Homo-oligomer: A and B are copies of this chain.
Amino acid sequence: MSRFSIAIHGGAGTITKQSLTPEKEKAYHKALEKALTAGHQALINGGSAVDAVELAVTLLEDCPLFNAGKGSVFTSEGTHEMDASIMDGSNLEAGAVSMVKGIKNPVKVARLIMERSEHVFMAGPGAEAFAKSMQCEFREEKYFYDEFRYQQWLTVKGTDVTQLDHASEKKFGTVGAVACDRKGNLAAATSTGGMTNKKFGRIGDTPMIGAGNYANNQTCAISCTGSGEFFIRGVVAYDVSCLMEYKGMSLSQACDEVIHHRLKNIGGDGGLIAVDLNGNIAMPFNTEGMYRASRNSEGHTIVSIYQ
């Protein structure tokens, strides 16, 4: 049996010991552990990497602690607009969705786009119509309401300021998962509510295949979180894959090169999670912290927040 593994993240940024109460820190650990265990169990049961990452991201979307699905930040119009993507490394198929409202689990729509449509990327009301045609679960606006996010938004409502998802700290609240299954297939999934008070239909790196999300059985599966504009300009997720494929770097070498040098050189902050076809895991970030967790086939587990 070949090695399998899974890694997840719940965002990176200025996350320090001082900025979290012990209760909140415990809550984050518990939520990460829950999503990780569910995804890992799927792999134990012989589920595909695509199944595992979809399941883990669904649980992170359902948890209001993270800025994705329930708990998404408020746009400048007081609504929630969400993005998600998924990629199957075995065939390079991909699905992505952007600017959708009311959908309980955007990552599930991304998977349906990948598997049930001839397209890769859908957005806005058109994407919502596709989700409806596929019987996806919708929720009323109040389902997505979170008091903390609302208070965040009130501090910048009516101004031109857009904000990362924590007012008191600089934090990128995207969630994501990457996995290598028993057959050596890789997959990656990413989901986000974007930036507080965002307007002009801003789209970040999350739904952009190659930027915020990428998977290829020959190299690696990657899910990113950070200052999205820089991840787009650096084509970050695919860059890791290219350094492995074209320069022969290992997973950890390629991840470090991209996060600590290439991304940093253009001014980008954030991190990523990655697995390769041997089940190796890397979770580099160039910020103070990143909500992250991983577990391999031997059961070796990491659940961590700070550097």
Contacts and interface: CB of A to CB of B under 8 A. Distances in A.
Contacts of A173: none
Interface stretch (A30-38, A93-101, A181-189, A284-292): A93-101
B210 A235 contact: yes
A119 B246 contact: no
A233 interface: yes
A147 interface: no
A298 to B, nearest CB: 33
Question: SS class of chain A's interface: helix, strand, loop or mixed?
Answer: mixed
A92 B123 contact: no
B92 A234 contact: yes
A103 interface: no
A231 to B, nearest CB: 9
Contacts of A126: 199-202
Nearest to A229: B120
A238 interface: yes
A51 to B, nearest CB: 20
Query: 3 closest A-B pairs (Cβ-Cβ)?
Result: A126-B201, A246-B246, A210-B235
